[in-house]
Amino acid sequence: MALLVLALFAWPIFFDAGNKYMLIIDNILVAVIAVMGLNLVTGFAGLISIGHAAFVGIGAYTIASFGRVLGDSHLLLTHAWPVMILLAGGMGAVFGAIVGLPALRLKHLYLAIATLSFQMIFEWTMKFMDFFNQGQTISVGRVFWVTGEVSRKDHYIFWYYAILVVIVMLSFSVRNLLRTRYGRCLIAVRDNDRAADAMGMHPGFTKVYAFGLAGFLAGVAGALHAYLYRGVGVESFTLHHSISYLAMAIVGGLGTLPGAFMGPLAIKVLDMQVEQLSEWTSSHLTFATNLATALKPLSFGLVIVLFLMFEPRGIANWWRIARSYVKKWPFRY
| CATH number of 243's domain | 1.10.3470
CA 122 centroid distance within chain? 17
| 122 in a structural domain | yes
- Each as own residue / partner, the long-range contacts of residues 115-120 (CB below 8 Å, 24 or more positions apart, any chain) are 115/48, 115/49, 115/50, 115/51, 115/52, 116/50, 116/51, 116/239, 117/51, 118/51, 118/54, 119/50, 119/51, 119/53, 119/54, 119/239, 119/242, 120/239
What pLDDT digit, counting tens, does each position of 128-184 carry?
888 888 888 888 888 888 878 888 888 888 999 999 999 999 999 999 998 888 888
Partnered with residue 231 across adjacent β-strands are: 139
User: Tell me: the pLDDT tens digits for 275-302?
Assistant: 787 777 767 666 556 665 677 778 888 8
- 55-to-41, 88, 203, 296 alpha-carbon distances in Å: 13, 10, 22, 25
Q: What is the pLDDT of residue 314?
A: 85
Strand 148-149, strand 138-139: pairing:
unpaired
Asked if residue 327 is part of any domain, the answer here is no
Predicted confidence at residue 167, as pLDDT, reads 93
Torsion of CA 27, 136, 144, 58, to 10 degrees: -70
**pLDDT value of residue 310:** 86
218 pLDDT higher than 70:
yes
Confidence at residue 215, expressed as pLDDT on a 0 to 100 scale: 93
Q: Is residue 302 part of a domain?
A: no
Give the residue-averaged pLDDT of 259-276: 87
Per residue in 273-296, is it b (16+ CB within 10 Å) or e — as a string? Answer: ebeeebeebbeeeeeeeeebeebe
Residue 284 lies in a domain: no
Does the pLDDT value for residue 4 go beyond 90?
no
Confidence of residue 60 (pLDDT cuts 50, 70, 90): very high
pLDDT grade, residue 35 (50/70/90)?
Answer: very high
**Structural domain that includes position 159:** 17-260
pTM metric for this prediction = 0.90
Distance CA 138, CA 164 (A): 25
Residue with the bigger pLDDT between 70 and 7: it is 70
The region of weakest confidence among 10-19, 53-62, 225-234 is 10-19
Instruction: Give residue 181's pLDDT.
Output: 86
Domain count, the chain: 1
Split at pLDDT 50, 70, 90, the class of 274 is: confident
Q: pLDDT-based confidence at 54, cuts 50/70/90?
A: very high
Instruction: Tell me the three state secondary structure of residue 149.
Output: strand
**DSSP label at residue 51:** -
Q: Please report how the helices 289-310 and 239-252 are oriented relative to each other, as an axis angle in degrees rounded to 10.
A: 40
**pLDDT score at 22:** 86
Share of the chain above pLDDT 90, in %: 29
pLDDT given for residue 289 in this prediction:
60
Taking 80 as the threshold, does the pLDDT of residue 11 lie above it? no
270 occurs within a structural domain: no
Examine residue 326 and state whether it is found in any structural domain, yes or no.
no
Q: How does the average pLDDT of the chain come out, rounded?
A: 85
Q: Tell me, what's the pLDDT at 3?
A: 63
Distance CA 104, CA 74 (A): 41
In a domain, 46, yes or no: yes
What is the model's pLDDT at position 122? 92
Residues 218 and 34 sit within 8 Å (Cβ to Cβ): yes
Predicted confidence (pLDDT) at residue 13 exceeds the cutoff of 80: no
